Structure 1
């Protein structure tokens, strides 16, 4: 039988296939073997371009950073610029599968990733606080945006797993909330009954958290 002809690969093809694999199977199932199968190539041939999957993730993170930088404007006050930056980054994380996990699992060593951090620092540099607080503010903002998307991803995975087992997630949550007994005012029950918890993971919730964070940075100027 004639051997199956292998496909010629390149760095660009590997990157494109990596995003497809992340979209179809998630980061938990990402392996060099599965990537090679998707490319119809030998796994060994991938190592000519990347020494391991971590080095691929570094490039993917750098691509997300580059695309984010390309979509950001520079108009408005520092608070408006931070808000716009966060929304742009959130948009990229939603479009690129598992990109929040990629950013969380990589080190900012690549050119565009470093440019992204420096871009943020230049915005915060307008705030009259010391450099330590500027860097901490930038780190908190990045962590907030990334963690918000991570939380959404994990919550979706849990919901799908429970539903696959025949469990209704909303009903389980309702029962748990209503079974709570407390000597104090049960604020959580009140919030649930007013349907405020239905906004979990929404753009409105993201914006509220972002407003709180930016207001906190401004508060540092008064200390």
Structure 2
């Protein structure tokens, strides 16, 4: 391969497309859809080119027209999930807070629908080259710029907000994955945990008070309230930088 055709970085988005001598048996969309279903039902550990080929009733080699390896396949699937994320329009700059909150909740929901994302989101530097990820980032830059952030602050504002959502959601997704493997509901797991947690907090009065306030509450509601509290504080920080 000539030097100018080599990949600048290893990624499905930078690899030159192979010349098609004949119509491949499988389309990229079919491969991505099957991989997403496999990941959602069985987790990241279950994904392999051979396993996916079996699921598609095709040999692994038939997929190499579209993806060179498992890493490229994950890039495609992660970008597919980005296609689920809402990018709100900001017609009224005064409603910037509502728009950013909608994006944050949409991103969180996408991660929680696909808990396996928790194990790959730390490697998103390359997958952000995908068309859906680019759409999301472009749209959110437009929202923050229209909101009135000073010049040059739209990029770090979007990155900071996204980092908060990913950080919180990864923790939630990990917990939900653990619960799925245990066979218990979240409420059942919390009830089983309470005696040990309260015993561990016997010498910590502030923790005792906190646990007492949470006892009996819906754990899903607790997670949502904690997420929204942190989100509102992030938006409070951005509000300081937005001119009236």
Tell me, yes or no, whether TM beats 0.5.
yes
Question: What is the CA-CA distance between 1:36 and the residue it aligns to?
Answer: 0.9
In 1, Cα distance between the equivalents of 2:149 and 2:71? 38
In 2, Cα distance between the equivalents of 1:62 and 1:91? 15
Contact 2:79 2:132 (C-alpha < 8 Å) held by counterparts: yes
- SS of match in other structure, 2:85: helix
Question: What is the CA-CA distance between 1:47 and the residue it aligns to?
Answer: 1.2
Task: Tell me the residue number matched to 1:3.
Answer: none
Question: What is the CA-CA distance between 1:168 and the residue it aligns to?
Answer: 5.8
Structural mapping, 1:120-139, within 5 Å = 120-125=140-145, 126-131=147-152, 133-139=153-159
Unaligned runs of 5+ in 1: 1-6
TM-score, normalization by structure 1: 0.78
**CA 1:173/1:28 → structure 2, altered by over 3 Å: closer, same or farther?**
farther
Task: Tell me the residue number matched to 2:20.
Answer: none
Contact 2:111 2:170 (C-alpha < 8 Å) held by counterparts: no
In 1, Cα distance between the equivalents of 2:170 and 2:132? 22
In 2, Cα distance between the equivalents of 1:112 and 1:163? 34
**CA 1:33/1:214 → structure 2, altered by over 3 Å: closer, same or farther?**
same
- Residue-by-residue CA offset, 1:41-76 (whole Å, 9 max, x unaligned): 11121112101122122222222233324x634344
Matched, 1:117 2:137: yes
Superposition RMSD on alpha carbons, in Å? 3.0
Task: Work out which of the residue numbers 86, 93, 97 in structure 1 matches 2:111.
Answer: 93
Unaligned runs of 5+ in 2: 1-23
In 2, Cα distance between the equivalents of 1:67 and 1:156? 20
Task: Tell me the residue number matched to 1:186.
Answer: 205
Task: Tell me the residue number matched to 1:4.
Answer: none
In 1, Cα distance between the equivalents of 2:178 and 2:134? 33
In 1, Cα distance between the equivalents of 2:111 and 2:91? 22
TM-score, normalization by structure 2: 0.72
Task: Tell me the residue number matched to 1:51.
Answer: 68
**CA 1:117/1:13 → structure 2, altered by over 3 Å: closer, same or farther?**
same
Question: What is the CA-CA distance between 1:142 and the residue it aligns to?
Answer: 1.2
